[in-house]
Each structure stands twice: as C-alpha cells, then as structure tokens.
Structure 1
C-alpha cells in the first residue's frame, strides 16, 4: 500500500488488534516509500498518543471527538511546549536527531466528527490552532442519526454541511472516509470539497483487486 502513491497511510488501532510494536513496523514501511505515517487511536488516550508519536507517527486521528475543551487537553500531550515528555525514541533517531525533532516537530492532529454532538462542536474544534483537519466519519454519524449507512438523508447532508462550513470558516482541511475504492465516488468527494480523504481500507482494496479477476472466470 505504501508503494501505491498515497500521501499518507493511517494505521488503525481502533478497529483492529494492531499493537504498538506492529504499528511501528507499519510506520517504517510507509516512511521507506515517502508516505506520511498516521495512527488512528482507539480513544482520546493521551499516553497512547504520545507513545505512537514516539514510535514515529507524524499525526493522530482521534475518534468520537465531541468537546473542544476535552480535545484541547488531549492535544497538550502531543506538544513538547505542552505536556509531551521528551525521550530518546525512534521519532528522533534514538537521540541522533533529538534537537531538530524536539524544536521543530509539529504533529498533525485530526479529530473525527462522528456524532451529532461532534457536529455541534465542529466550529469550536476547527478554530483550534492545534487542529489540522476535521474528519467526518460517515458510517458512525449516519448511525447516530438513526439511518446507518444512508448518506442521502436530509439530516446527514445537513450535518456534513455544518462540518464543511466549520472547516471553511477556519481554513482547515475537510476530511472523510471514502470506504468503497471507486474512482467515480472518490472524484465526487473531491468535488464536494474534501481534501483529507481516507481511501478505502487494506482489506476492502485487496478484495476489490483480487475479486474482479476471479469473477471474470466464472
């Protein structure tokens, strides 16, 4: 996947059994192809966030963010000017690049907006200087609205528009998960203004690539 031309790859620690050590291995693979390694946390756990940054993650996606003040408290643990502790770890070459990393590194922080409460907090989240993008979780948001998997309802569209407006108001990137690896749908998301797009997943992409040739033989 790292060799396929993506700008970034996110290691999902929310919906998988991936360990910290396995995540680090994924970061190394991404780096070797010039791809930015990101990690999706299982929760807004600041200590796991710090460990993933120490392991080499360049940014963190944080699920189910519903409160700007709570996210600000989490973000403090991601910056050395805040509460992040300094140590010799993989992120700074185990000390070889300590000064440059310590003085110059700034992590990407992306709260995931996945509920009605999250949408209500979107404007406050987008206003935070620590936030780089807002990431709309379409499946979780549609489920919270009582229509799981239906992104065509007026309620869902209204919520998505509020997130878009929040990003536009503060110059932040608008993100979403385009689950199906369909080029037409990807282009539609870009046309809608999304600029931080998670494109499919490893399993879905492999099924799409391997399943099509087999179907042609039936």
Structure 2
C-alpha cells in the first residue's frame, strides 16, 4: 500500500487543489483497477448503497493503490465499527452519509483517530503493513474525513460541521438533498440552488474543500461543477458509466427494459 505516513489527498485538498474521483457501487477489484488506470485521484467504494462486503473492500483498495489512487469508502455515520475496519484495511479516508450535526460528526471522528486524540483501536493490519510501519502510521497518518450533506438539517448545520477540525471537506449529495427539499432530481430550483450555495459558503468561510457527485457521465457537466468552485468531485459511477457506454444497443433491439 501507499507509504503509511502520508495521505496525499488531505494535503491536496488543504492546498485548494482540484481532486476528481470515481465512484464504485460494486466490489469488483477488476473494475476498480480499470477505473484507477484512467487518472482519478481517488476511488470511493459505496458501502451504503452498493453491494460490496468487507473482503471485497480490501481487494478494491489493493487494486486502486496499484495505480497510486487513494481508496475511500462511503458509509453511514452509525457504522463506527465498520469505519475502523475499513481504515485498518487501508482506506485513505471515509465519506460519511447524512451528517446533520457537528456534535454527531465529532463523535464519529473520534472513532477514526488513535488515542490520545480519539478512540480508534490499535491493530496490526494492512494499514500499517502488519506492524512494520506501526509507529509512523499511528503517529502521523490522518484519514480523510468528509461529512456528506444530504438534508435540510445538514445544510442548516453546515457551517458548524465545516468548522470541525477533523473535517477535510463537505460533500453534497445532490439527489438526496433535492428529495429532502421536496424537489426530487431537480437541481435548478431556487430551494436546491440556495442550499448548495449555503454549503459552499460554509466551506469557504472555514477554509474547507467543497465536494459534489456529478452522477451523469457528462464531461461538460463535470467541467461545470469545477467552474462552479467544487474541488472534490466524484464523477459518475461504475454501473452508470457501463450502462451509458452500452445504452446504444437499445436503438437496435428496441428494448425499453
């Protein structure tokens, strides 16, 4: 795995540099490696909505690292034991879904940091090369921690969440947010646009990166997100990209299924 004492993604975001990642909903290491070879900075394995289990997560992390790509995982903030296990397996950081208060995220972050700063248990595992890098990893490595803002409550608390020392970026979930605001999938209505702007402002005022998921495989839309000031951007998903590439078959088969 990557050198245990370094987390290049944290320093990149802290410096205000652009970082684009891919999104995995399956636990296939072959798909992960194929995506990693395209030049993404990171790959996030979705363990909230995706199908991967913990063993597949480890294989995906290994595949990503072969191309110098930082492996991340998206999980629920309620799954603190899973967070610890994923970090032990070599995750460079975690995207945490549906964060709605600074206090809740502060508690979650403690489970990701070693004593005396936090409560993460110590194990000889892949993250520290099974003990060979125990000291450097324990003393210097810090996981990337990214709360996901997906609800009205999260938007209202965004400034307080962004102010947390452990937070590297806030990440907008546009579909969930639009649903919670009563406009499913409609990102151009004032309520959704104002909520997104509020989160961006919270990040700017606290010196944190702001992220979003550009789900549709549209390079122009991706560039638009970048032009709008997002510096931590997930692009498409493995399955959506595959379906987009193969969707032309419908014009031949006439299938609507």
TM-score range with shorter-chain normalisation? over 0.9
- Cα distance in 2 for partners of 1:210, 1:144 equals 32
| SS across alignment from 2:36 | coil
How many angstroms does 1:174 deviate by?
A: 0.6
1:127 aligns to what? Answer: 163
Alignment of 1:183 onto 2:219 = yes
- In the alignment, structure 1 segments of 5+ residues that lack a partner are none
User: So what's the TM-score if we normalise by structure 1?
Assistant: 0.96
Alignment of 1:204 onto 2:240 = yes
| 1:7 paired residue among 24, 38, 41 | 41
- In the alignment, structure 2 segments of 5+ residues that lack a partner are 1-34
Task: Assess if the C-alpha contact under 8 Å between 1:49 and 1:78 holds in 2.
Answer: yes
- Cα distance in 2 for partners of 1:31, 1:135 equals 23
- Cα distance in 1 for partners of 2:78, 2:96 equals 6
2:24 aligns to what? Answer: none
Q: CA RMSD in A?
A: 1.3
Moved over 6 A (4+): 215-218
- Cα distance in 2 for partners of 1:65, 1:42 equals 9
| 1:106 paired residue among 109, 122, 142 | 142
Aligned length: 217
2:81 aligns to what? Answer: 47
Alignment of 1:67 onto 2:104 = no
Alignment of 1:173 onto 2:231 = no
Q: Which moved more, 1:200-209 or 1:64-73?
A: 200-209
2:185 aligns to what? Answer: 149
How many angstroms does 1:17 deviate by?
A: 2.3
- Cα distance in 2 for partners of 1:190, 1:215 equals 32
